[in-house]
Structure 1
Amino acid sequence: MQYLSTRGGIQPISFTKAVMMGLAEDGGLLLPRTIPRIDSQTLAAWKDLGYAELAFEVMSRFIDDIPASDLKALINRSYTSFDTPEVTPLVHYGNLHILELFHGPTLAFKDVALQFLGNLFEYLLGKSGEVLNILGATSGDTGSAAIYGVRGKERIRIFILHPHKRVSPVQEKQMTSIMDGNVFNIAIQGSFDDGQAIVKEIFSDIEFKNRMNLGAINSINWARVLAQVVYYVYSCLHIARHENDGSLTFSIPTGNFGDIFAGFIAKRMLPEGSIRQLVLATNSNDILARFVNKGDYSLGKVVQTSSPSMDIQAASNFER
């Protein structure tokens, strides 16, 4: 599988190079050249797989430069930190189904991807012998989940920028109470968008990025999105076992557009009709809803709300 930039300025690269590059050198985001399709027969054959087994089947279609046995081991190790073997269990209330994404070590849905990405970084760095400096910005949940994904790992240092007094108290404590020597928290004046702009500007300095061996752990990293595709496929399989109508509508709280984009990839992969619709749920920072409903993508001022992880105006993954 080859990966390309949304801006067309780099040559095709492999999955592992895409993971280590994070943000493409032309400033774009990386995407697979093609989206693998899953036919109905293959999907039916997956119906009894456990979560880690399903994750391997989905992710291996995008990863062809890591041996299958190593990829399986990475995935299995990543989900042992969850408090249920189902990893993302579904709870049923009539015709509503709630996908529980809070069973990881920080209770954030981003644990699903960041436990895997932390182990993936460690595996790739063990092969190369390099040291990686991870730089990321957070509105709360990415920071704590990223830190828990890489804390204590050799060859990795992580630097997380968060907006001062604009993340939840729990997530601030989760980030700033970690004393591992490879974890560095930096509070900035401003919003998440300001932090994200700093990260992108630093990554755009290619000489500095290469010299410092910078890596990305925000959802600009394709591996983050890929790991989240799995639970959409898992949901479709799980519902199909309980209902005749397997066509689902997902309502997805959306800030940086990464999670709903993972749902879009799953929709493209699965047989037509498996996912009927993706509903973009937002708060007062409604730039994405305005674009979908009115075609208006003008940036506004970030409004501080009771859902700080969604207090974003410039949604990076929308470029994808």
Structure 2
Amino acid sequence: MKYISTRGQVAPIGFIDAVLMGLADDGGLLVPERLPQLSQDTLQQWQKLSYTELALEVFSLFMKADIPREDLKKLVDDSYGTFREEDVTPVRRIHDGLYVLELFHGPTFAFKDVALQFLGNLYSYISRRNNSIIHILGATSGDTGASAIEGVRGKEGIRICILHPHGKVSKVQELQMTTVDSANVLNLAVEGTFDDCQRIIKELFADVEFKHQYHLRAINSINIARILAQTVYYFYAYFRLVDQGVAGDKINFSVPTGNFGDIFAGYLAQKMGLPVNKLILATNENNILARFVNEGVYQPGEFRGTHSPSMDIQVASNFERYLFYLYGEDAAKVAALMAQFKADGRIAIEGEALARVQADFAAYSVENEACLDAIEGTHKHQGYLLDPHTACGVTAAAHLAAAGEVTVALSTAHPAKFDESIRLRGIRQTYPAQIEALFNKPQFQKVVGGSNEEIKAELLRFF
């Protein structure tokens, strides 16, 4: 399997080179040169597999040319052996027609662990195999940072710097990152929004000379390994519902999203052959993606702080990958659209293109109070506690799933990570011991301004 850029100016490369490149050198994003097409027989065979066995089969489709199967199996086993649930991503029934896919049973209680435990181990494997130094640079709206740090803390040959928006993540998210006292970890709290952090990351990676000189590697979902790892749990959830006799031919997935990575993984799974009825895109009040699906206009709006801060994003880093498939893998068209977005801050589509978007996705923007209503109502009537991001997915499903349809809402974080919001509706919860322990630990972070120069200076001191 080779990987190509959405902008067409990078020669096809192997999987490990794609992981190391992160952001494509032409400014685009890397995608598989072709997507495997799965037969019904293959899906039936996969239905019997455990999560780790399924991950190995999915990963092999994309990575086997670069990583021997036994090495890949060890990476998978090591990555998911850290999860608290044997099923890794269990499916829970909430009520008739609605299920929750719990993605928060990894070390940092967030769905990012599913991909980043694997990517952290993969980077360590590459570093040992190539006898090379890896400097990881990433931005987080809350969960990616903690998951990435947990994946590589203390590992030889790897250093990691994470940018997060100062004061705009939950307290638990902040503590999970900043209480890590390790010589290979640097936390920078940036005065600005997540979009500022993400812009800095993309611009530093676009400086190809700087990127290569300091061996910069990406941990954000611009890295194709992140997306491929996330496709696995769509297949796994579908198979678990088939086991229960409730899936029928197709099911819906309702996905809380800000960066378009998680739902894009579902889109790839569908293109590979997973029987999906609707991909429901749930946003909060930072609703650039919902407006694109419903109106055909991709344009950042005014930033709003919400109860679901990991989705407080106005520029979705994986959006370009979807444009690539929307326009028939026409890299020149994608390059032109992204140049237009850089110049005008806006992309508008209509006609057949918009019709294709609306065939691929349904979208709903969830208001702050509606998010809290879903938390309160689900807790009261079903005895199940949602985190605010999952609450957005559940709310969107309630509005967009038709009667008789089965919907899986992706649960992206443990509710303990967002207790400030949950307490607004008078709900008290008990912290897991691992999270409770964070409040007594010292923090290690540095507050910095939001300029490329300041971040680059901190990186040079750290490396």
Q: Under a length normalisation based on structure 2, what TM-score does the superposition of the two structures give?
A: 0.68
- Hey, what's the Cα distance between the residues in 1 that align with 2:279 and 2:306? 23
Q: CA deviation at 1:128?
A: 0.6
Name the residue aligned to 2:244: 242
Amino acid at match of 2:251: L
Q: Secondary structure at the match of 1:190?
A: coil
Q: CA deviation at 1:60?
A: 0.6
Q: CA deviation at 1:34?
A: 0.6
CA displacement, residues 255-293 of structure 1 (integer Å, 9 cap, x when unaligned): 00000000001001125xx11110000100000000000
Amino acid at match of 1:89: P
Counterpart of 1:198 (choices 188, 197, 200) is 200
- Hey, what's the Cα distance between the residues in 1 that align with 2:180 and 2:303? 28
Q: Secondary structure at the match of 1:316?
A: coil
Q: Is the 8 A contact 1:38 1:270 kept in 2?
A: yes
- Hey, what's the Cα distance between the residues in 2 that align with 1:84 and 1:159? 29
Amino acid at match of 1:166: K
Counterpart of 1:252 (choices 244, 255, 262) is 255
Name the residue aligned to 1:174: 176
- Hey, what's the Cα distance between the residues in 1 that align with 2:85 and 2:205? 37
Counterpart of 2:221 (choices 219, 222, 230) is 219
Amino acid at match of 1:197: R
Asked if residue 162 in structure 1 is aligned to residue 164 in structure 2, the reply is: yes
Name the residue aligned to 1:285: 286
CA displacement, residues 168-201 of structure 1 (integer Å, 9 cap, x when unaligned): 1000000000001111000111100000000111
Q: CA deviation at 1:296?
A: 1.3
- Hey, what's the Cα distance between the residues in 2 that align with 1:15 and 1:213? 17
Amino acid at match of 1:256: N
Asked if residue 46 in structure 1 is aligned to residue 49 in structure 2, the reply is: no
Q: CA deviation at 1:95?
A: 2.0
Name the residue aligned to 1:26: 26
- Hey, what's the Cα distance between the residues in 2 that align with 1:284 and 1:179? 35
Amino acid at match of 2:175: K
Q: CA deviation at 1:46?
A: 1.4
**Segment drifting more, 186-195 vs 91-100:** 91-100
Structure number with larger C-alpha Rg? 2
- Hey, what's the Cα distance between the residues in 2 that align with 1:120 and 1:277? 32
CA displacement, residues 60-84 of structure 1 (integer Å, 9 cap, x when unaligned): 1011211011001100110011001
- Hey, what's the Cα distance between the residues in 1 that align with 2:110 and 2:156? 24
How many pairs are equivalent?
Answer: 318
Name the residue aligned to 1:78: 79
Q: Under a length normalisation based on structure 1, what TM-score does the superposition of the two structures give?
A: 0.98
- Hey, what's the Cα distance between the residues in 1 that align with 2:297 and 2:130? 45
- Hey, what's the Cα distance between the residues in 1 that align with 2:2 and 2:225? 14
Q: Secondary structure at the match of 2:297?
A: coil
Q: Secondary structure at the match of 1:278?
A: strand
Name the residue aligned to 1:269: 272
**Segment drifting more, 40-49 vs 221-230:** 40-49
Name the residue aligned to 2:70: 69
- Hey, what's the Cα distance between the residues in 2 that align with 1:264 and 1:297? 19
CA displacement, residues 229-263 of structure 1 (integer Å, 9 cap, x when unaligned): 00001011111111251411000001000000000
Would you tell me which structure has more helix in proportion to its own residues? 2
Q: CA deviation at 1:302?
A: 1.7
**Segment drifting more, 295-304 vs 207-216:** 295-304
Q: Is the 8 A contact 1:23 1:203 kept in 2?
A: yes
Q: Secondary structure at the match of 2:307?
A: coil
- Hey, what's the Cα distance between the residues in 2 that align with 1:302 and 1:7? 28
Following superposition, which runs of at least 4 residues in structure 1 exceed 3 angstroms of deviation? none
Q: Secondary structure at the match of 2:284?
A: coil
Amino acid at match of 1:91: R
- Hey, what's the Cα distance between the residues in 2 that align with 1:140 and 1:318? 20
- Hey, what's the Cα distance between the residues in 2 that align with 1:57 and 1:248? 22
Q: CA deviation at 1:309?
A: 0.2
Amino acid at match of 1:150: V
Q: CA deviation at 1:94?
A: 2.3
Amino acid at match of 1:23: L
Asked if residue 123 in structure 1 is aligned to residue 125 in structure 2, the reply is: yes
Sequence identity (%): 57
C-alpha RMSD of matched pairs (Å): 0.8
Q: CA deviation at 1:298?
A: 1.4
Q: Is the 8 A contact 1:4 1:32 kept in 2?
A: yes
Q: Secondary structure at the match of 1:215?
A: strand
Amino acid at match of 2:303: V
- Hey, what's the Cα distance between the residues in 2 that align with 1:112 and 1:147? 13
- Hey, what's the Cα distance between the residues in 1 that align with 2:149 and 2:102? 21
Amino acid at match of 1:164: H
- Hey, what's the Cα distance between the residues in 1 that align with 2:61 and 2:162? 31
Name the residue aligned to 2:59: 59
Amino acid at match of 2:148: A
Counterpart of 1:114 (choices 105, 113, 116) is 116
- Hey, what's the Cα distance between the residues in 2 that align with 1:281 and 1:143? 22
Q: Is the 8 A contact 1:240 1:246 kept in 2?
A: no
Any unmatched runs of 5+ in structure 2?
Answer: 322-463
Name the residue aligned to 2:298: 297
- Hey, what's the Cα distance between the residues in 1 that align with 2:149 and 2:302? 28
